[in-house]
Structure 1
Amino acid sequence: MRPTVPRVLAVVLALLLGGYVFVVGPHLAGEPDRRRAAAIDAALPPTHPVHRDGQDSRDGRDGRATFPAPGDAFVGIMTDAGVHDLTEAARFTRATGHLPQVYEFSLDWASDTFDAGPVDDVARRGMMPLLAWEPWDHRAEPDEERLRGVQPRYRLSRIIDGAFDPYIRAWAKGVASLGHPVGIRFAHEMNGYWYPWCEEANGNRPGEYVRAWRHVHRLFEQAGADNAVWVWSPNVHYENATPFEELYPGDAYVDWVGLSGYYGTVGLESYQSFDRIFTASERRLRRLTAKPLVITEVGATDAAGRKAEWITDMFRSLPRHPGIIGVIWYEAVRVIDWRVTTSAASVRAFAAGVSAPRYRTPWSPGAVPRARP
């Protein structure tokens, strides 16, 4: 076959199309992912090496820094995407100038198996991983809040009786293999009615929450997961809530206690200060335990234009609560947009508050979680 101009042009065109399909096209398709990864690396550079399979990156108990340092408090965040995408964490860090020392993320028992990679990635970036570990299937969550706690498969009695032991042991073994601490905020807000592990829901009985907690804790102990930091975290007390006293597993099973509380939740839109939301519940906790307290979820609405004011008030109030060793802002949207980054005024207020020296204690994989307020 003689080469002719049309045939040569056809070959050239075919080569160009092939190059686009197999080289240029895939490159362009992956460009948004590369840009996102680059933005995350710029804001949250992976500068902390971690070791796996029990090779602890810590260099011996003597001389190891306490986290947070005595008198200091950390400021972390929780996002919707969690360990699956750190974009929101990067955006928060760029906006406020503050690297969150703790990164909280949710995983549930129906869809999430242990994966060290994303957890280690959080630790490499200088953030202590804190897992909100939820024994339910969040994908089956109904719109009606009163029905959210109805998932018979995840009754507390089934946890106690060992129905989930293989799953729990797999997680315990995985956590034990990490070379850094991991917070375990197991079955949080248990004093409410909106989760299947609440004693007010799902056919659960009084006393079963404590038994379930202790059962899970023992399985982690048996696996040698002494790097797990157990965070018992009810919602702030409200009328008709299950009393803290009936749900606390005991100091031998808890490292940190926590509280969830927000300004502006549905039905409670009127302005409430940080002190008004948390002080009474903190006092109730102190009748039970002297363990360090973390505000494990907090946020503020901007519906009335007062989010920046509320943030300023929070940072002004925190030094009056020396037992609070950390605050985790809910940097996400759930019915309400709680994010700091949605308002320039809120960003300025947060950046000003978090710039105080008491919030600057860095976290590293070798740090020892504080055991006293």
Structure 2
Amino acid sequence: MRLTVPRVALLLVGVVLLAYAFAVAPAAQHGGPTAAPPDRVARAAPDAVVTADAAAVTTIGPAAGLFPPAGKAFFGVMTDKGPYDFTAVDRFAAAAKRQPQVMLFGAGWASATFDRMLFDRIKARGMLPMLGWEPWDYRVDEAARKQKKLTVRQIDRVRSTQPYYRLSRIVNGDFDSYLRSWAEGVKSLGYPVAIRFAHEMNGDWYPWCEKANGNRPGEYVQAWRHVHDLFERAGATNVIWVWSPNARWSKTTGNLADLYPGDDYVDWVGTTGYYGTGTWSDYTSFDAIFGPTIAEIRTFSRRPMVVTETGATDAGGRKAQWIRDTFRALPKHRDVIGLIWFEVDKELDWRIAASPAASKAFADSVAAPRYDVHWSPELLPRTERDE
């Protein structure tokens, strides 16, 4: 066949099409797994890898890219100055001889506006930011504490009585413009953040507790869902929602199920409890403090568990022992994926850095392979518990 210019051109086109059909197209259709975009938090089971584009989230293979990975647990820290000053965090990390993977800090609605810098500073240190988001004016609490003649329960009543922050006002949309400003800000971060909204709601010492401030039964769940749905509508889907009651301190502290928004509205369930104060002033083990609450939560939620605040005092000389006993107990609770230490000297000194014995106990405990965990913005939160 005589080669002419048109025939040569047709031949070249055919070669290009064949190359695409056998090489490029299959690679495009069956490309390797990629992490979900950082502005999207997808629910991921322990045995799944999640890939995502703007349209879909697909489960495609064995475990990878989850925080924390299956069989692992993180530890985190909360300090008095939060991301404004990392001095206490550095001392905590030095005492623990391992970098914490999560940092919890608080913000009250009366004065806190969204500030990207706070989240970015935590992220830059390789820690997942967890915001303790509190619908109240914390300055009322500070003023009450300065009145030396008030008892602890009197202080609780003063700070919990803030009609402006009644749950009904959240449900009715009175704070929606404020909520939207935060939702847009969190969305703009482009990486996952955890929000522990209105914690310890089963008590009576905060304005958002149903037992205080003129609130009514059912309003806490309504308020939670209202806030959650507003964030969803704003496209702030990079939030890990953390529900965190106080650990049961008596048999008459109410039914936690009545305060639970539902697994569709929560990613991690949590609880708060301390050894060395109140009900647990005498030596009390981790299981004695947290066991009943964990067992109760497991009757209505399958979300992973996080101990969102804990600490121990050395008033009885057994702080180091409690730390060691706690970390020995934790592996028995396979669904507990993390613990956040309250590294603050407030009323009592909870800091591990304040005690060589406590520092060593904590460092020895988190040296275990279970806590060899790293966080990065590309990781998806594990939202299904280990069985």
**Are 1:238 and 2:249 counterparts?**
yes
Contact 1:116 1:174 (C-alpha < 8 Å) held by counterparts: yes
| Residues 328-337 or 294-303, more deviating | 328-337
Report 1:184-223 matches (<5 A): 184-223=195-234
**Are 1:353 and 2:339 counterparts?**
no
Residue 267 of structure 1: CA displacement?
5.1
Q: Given residue 190 of structure 1, which amino acid in structure 2 is its aligned partner? A: M
> CA separation in 2, counterparts of 1:211 and 1:266?
31
> CA separation in 2, counterparts of 1:266 and 1:139?
24
Query: 2:238: which partner in 1?
Result: 227
Query: 1:269: which partner in 2?
Result: 281
Identity of aligned residues (%): 54
Query: 2:334: which partner in 1?
Result: 322
Per the alignment, in what secondary structure is the counterpart of residue 198 of structure 1? coil
Of residues 278, 291, 305, the one that matches 2:290 is 278
> CA separation in 2, counterparts of 1:277 and 1:173?
38
Of residues 168, 171, 179, the one that matches 1:160 is 171
> CA separation in 1, counterparts of 2:289 and 2:222?
29
Q: Given residue 129 of structure 2, which amino acid in structure 1 is its aligned partner? A: P
> CA separation in 1, counterparts of 2:130 and 2:121?
13
Residue 112 of structure 1: CA displacement?
0.6
Contact 2:73 2:336 (C-alpha < 8 Å) held by counterparts: yes
Per the alignment, in what secondary structure is the counterpart of residue 80 of structure 1? coil
Contact 2:273 2:290 (C-alpha < 8 Å) held by counterparts: yes
Query: 2:180: which partner in 1?
Result: 169
Query: 2:299: which partner in 1?
Result: 287
- List structure 1 segments (4+ residues) > 6 angstroms apart after TM superposition: none
Residues 55 and 133 from structure 1, CA distance in 2 versus in 1: closer, same or farther, beyond 3 angstroms? closer
Deviations 1:124-178 (A, max 9, x none): 1100000000000101112312322111110000101111100000001111111
Query: 1:309: which partner in 2?
Result: 321
> CA separation in 2, counterparts of 1:269 and 1:90?
29
Deviations 1:287-313 (A, max 9, x none): 011100000001001001100000000
Q: Given residue 333 of structure 1, which amino acid in structure 2 is its aligned partner? A: D
Q: Given residue 303 of structure 1, which amino acid in structure 2 is its aligned partner? A: A
Structure 2 spans left out of the alignment, 5+ residues: 1-36, 42-49, 53-59, 146-154
> CA separation in 2, counterparts of 1:362 and 1:117?
22
Of residues 337, 362, 365, the one that matches 2:374 is 362
**Are 1:135 and 2:135 counterparts?**
yes
Query: 2:33: which partner in 1?
Result: none
Per the alignment, in what secondary structure is the counterpart of residue 280 of structure 2? coil
Contact 1:200 1:242 (C-alpha < 8 Å) held by counterparts: no
Query: 1:332: which partner in 2?
Result: 344
Query: 2:9: which partner in 1?
Result: none
Query: 1:90: which partner in 2?
Result: 90
**Are 1:179 and 2:190 counterparts?**
yes
Per the alignment, in what secondary structure is the counterpart of residue 341 of structure 1? coil
Contact 2:342 2:351 (C-alpha < 8 Å) held by counterparts: yes
Residue 94 of structure 1: CA displacement?
1.5
Per the alignment, in what secondary structure is the counterpart of residue 105 of structure 1? strand
Contact 1:308 1:346 (C-alpha < 8 Å) held by counterparts: yes
> CA separation in 1, counterparts of 2:139 and 2:345?
17
> CA separation in 1, counterparts of 2:188 and 2:346?
34
> CA separation in 2, counterparts of 1:127 and 1:165?
29
Residue 54 of structure 1: CA displacement?
5.8
Per the alignment, in what secondary structure is the counterpart of residue 322 of structure 1? coil
Per the alignment, in what secondary structure is the counterpart of residue 322 of structure 2? helix
Residue 254 of structure 1: CA displacement?
0.3
Q: Given residue 301 of structure 2, which amino acid in structure 1 is its aligned partner? A: T
**Are 1:147 and 2:153 counterparts?**
no
> CA separation in 2, counterparts of 1:277 and 1:292?
18
> CA separation in 2, counterparts of 1:327 and 1:149?
27
Q: Given residue 117 of structure 2, which amino acid in structure 1 is its aligned partner? A: G
> CA separation in 1, counterparts of 2:349 and 2:38?
40
Report 1:58-77 matches (<5 A): 61=52, 65-77=65-77
Residue 108 of structure 1: CA displacement?
0.5
> CA separation in 1, counterparts of 2:38 and 2:221?
31
> CA separation in 2, counterparts of 1:112 and 1:269?
34
TM-score by length of structure 2 reads 0.80
Calculate the aligned-residue CA RMSD, in Å: 1.8
Contact 1:214 1:253 (C-alpha < 8 Å) held by counterparts: yes
Residue 60 of structure 1: CA displacement?
5.2
Per the alignment, in what secondary structure is the counterpart of residue 253 of structure 1? coil
Contact 2:40 2:238 (C-alpha < 8 Å) held by counterparts: no
> CA separation in 2, counterparts of 1:129 and 1:298?
17
Q: Given residue 352 of structure 1, which amino acid in structure 2 is its aligned partner? A: D
Per the alignment, in what secondary structure is the counterpart of residue 278 of structure 2? coil
> CA separation in 2, counterparts of 1:288 and 1:333?
35
